[in-house]
Amino acid sequence: MKKVLVVFGLLVLVAGGALGYAAKRLYDRADEPHRGYSGAEVFVEIPSGTSTRDIGRQLVAAGVVPDERTFRIALWRSGRDRLLQAGEYRFRDPVSALAVVDILARGQVHLRPITFPEGLTRHEMADVFGRSELGTAEAFLVASERVELVEALDPEATDLEGYLFPETYALPRDATADDLVEAMVAQFERIFDEGLRAQAAARELTIREVVTLASLIQTETGLDAERPLVSAVYNNRLGRRMLLQCDPTVIYALQLAGLYDGNLTRDNLRFDSPYNTYVHAGLPPGPIAAPGATDLRAALQPADVSHLYFVSRNDGSHVFADTLREHNRNVREYQVNPFRRRRAEGR
């Protein structure tokens, strides 16, 4: 009998040890990185209201975690089973079940970037949006007419031209055009802060006038160093009640009318539109593009110079002049003569 009891005790110890080892193995498995999918990456879309059990099944089916038991243990160890958030998640590297729970609990959803360069019109932004995976150009255009978003800034706005701040935005896959437009206007408000608003008030300019002037500066030069100089030219001409004669305003007018073919002719400069600053004095009725932060600052902080004219050097930069005679000389040197040389050379 004593031998039987000893043997039984040994069996109990062995079984207990085996169970303890198995339990520890399961406990530790939640820490082990896993990658059960063959592609470069895998996406898991978790709808709102999905149970933790179904989330586990999705993760197993996608190869993100090895099995549902490991996922349940990871949930138990983390204590965050009620914190998992819906959304689209991307996985590329081996990751432990505990790390997966942490990613879902913190809502680290996959964000899709979309970039809007400075100087785009809202129609051009709509084309960028339409080429993304986020929605259609038509949806963006509709959203870009939500003038209530800028009513406090610009009660005269008929659309959001100029107020859709150009930069890169990172959005979840289910983001809408309205979500993006709201983010762009909010970013504009952050950039056009109280300091800039105070400067506008000191210069007796409305925010609409500042943004309009900044849009002209943006479309005339791509060099930050030149923006205050271009601003000075336009501010000086406004002060003298001279026509601004800004080519991009004519292009914008033609685009609105569906008449721009990529070329600007002398006849175009006479096109009758309130945006045509060759025909109408003062600023155009509104922005013609999306200015960046340097353009907005330049509009309010023009260089202390007396320039009234500038012409392109055909290398991305411009040469500035105070008098028409000096300007005409620059036009001959940088525009007329190079054209004649190219024509004589048959180019």
Q: 234: which 2 tokens? A: 């336009």
CB-based burial, 17-37: b 16+ in 10 Å, e otherwise: eeeeeeeeeeeebbeeebeee
90 forms beta bridges with 43
Find the domain containing 238 and state its range.
205-307
Strand ranges inside the chain, DSSP E: 42-46, 87-91, 111-115, 168-172, 309-312, 318-321
Answer for the pair 249, 324: CB distance below 8 angstroms, yes or no: no
Q: Determine the 3-state secondary structure of 134 from DSSP.
A: coil
Q: Is 277 inside any structural domain?
A: yes
329 domain residue, yes or no: no
Q: In this predicted structure, what is the pLDDT of residue 2?
A: 59
Cα angle 213-281-198, degrees, rounded to a multiple of 5: 35
Inter-CA distances, 96 with 29, 42, 70, 92, 185, Å:
8, 15, 10, 12, 40
CA 302/CA 285 separation, integer angstroms: 21
Residues 215 and 282 in one domain: yes
- Contacts of 107 by beta carbon, 8 Å cutoff, 6+ apart: 85, 87
Same domain, 75 and 133: no
Taking the CB of residue 316, how many other CB atoms lie within 10 A of it?
Answer: 10
Q: What is the pLDDT at residue 24?
A: 64
State residue 347's pLDDT score: 60
pLDDT of residue 7: 46
At residue 1, the pLDDT reads: 60
| Within a domain: 199 | no
Does residue 1 lie in a domain region?
Answer: no
Say how far apart CA 264 and CA 228 lie, in whole Å.
Answer: 26
Residues 259, 214, single domain; the answer is yes
CATH number of domain containing 71: 3.30.1490.480
Number of Cβ atoms within 10 Å of the Cβ of 258: 6
CA–chain centroid gap for 66, Å, is: 37
Q: Which of the listed residues 76, 105, 134 is the one where a domain comes to its end?
A: 105
Residues 91 and 123 in one domain: no
* DSSP strand pairing (111-115 vs 87-91): unpaired
| DSSP string for 82-115 | T----EEEEE-S-B-HHHHHHHHHTT---EEEEE
One domain for residues 225 and 284: yes
Reading the chain (347 residues) residue by residue, the pLDDT tens digits are 655 554 455 454 444 555 555 556 677 788 999 999 998 999 999 999 999 999 999 999 999 999 999 999 999 999 998 899 999 999 999 999 999 999 999 999 999 999 999 999 999 999 999 999 899 999 999 999 999 999 999 999 999 999 999 999 999 888 999 999 999 999 999 999 999 999 999 999 999 999 999 999 999 999 999 999 999 999 999 999 999 999 999 999 999 999 999 899 999 999 999 999 999 999 999 999 999 999 999 999 999 999 999 999 989 999 999 999 999 999 999 988 877 777 767 66
Which residues make Cβ contacts (< 8 Å) with residue 114, sequence separation at least 6?
A: 128, 129, 132, 134, 168, 169, 171, 180
Which tokens is 253 given?
A: 């007018």
55 and 124 assigned to the same domain: no
pLDDT computed for residue 28 by the predictor: 79
CB 135 within 8 A of CB 176: yes
Cβ count within 10 A of residue 63: 16
Taking CA atoms, 346 is separated from 156, 332, 335, 339, in Å, by 51, 19, 17, 11
Residue 67 has which token pair? 């099995």
Q: Which amino acid, residue 99?
A: A
Q: Domain check: are 138 and 183 in the same one?
A: yes
Q: Is residue 51 part of a domain?
A: yes
In single-letter form, the type of residue at position 186 comes to A
The domain tally of the chain equals: 3
The residue from 291, 307, 323 where one domain ends is: 307
Distance CA 184, CA 186 (A): 5
* Domain match, 37 and 73 both: yes
Does residue 214 belong to any structural domain of this protein? Answer: yes
Q: Are residues 212 and 269 in the same domain?
A: yes
Same-domain pairing of 75 and 129 = no
| Statement to judge: residues 220 and 294 lie in one domain | yes
State the pLDDT at residue 167.
96
CA separation for the pair 248, 230 (Å, rounded): 13
Confidence (pTM):
0.80
**3 lies in some domain:** no
Please say which residue of 62, 85, 105 terminates a domain. 105
Number of C-beta neighbours around residue 112 at 10 A: 15
Is residue 314 assigned to a domain?
no
Q: Are residues 134 and 45 in the same domain?
A: no
- Asked if residues 211 and 162 have their Cβ atoms less than 8 Å apart, the reply is yes
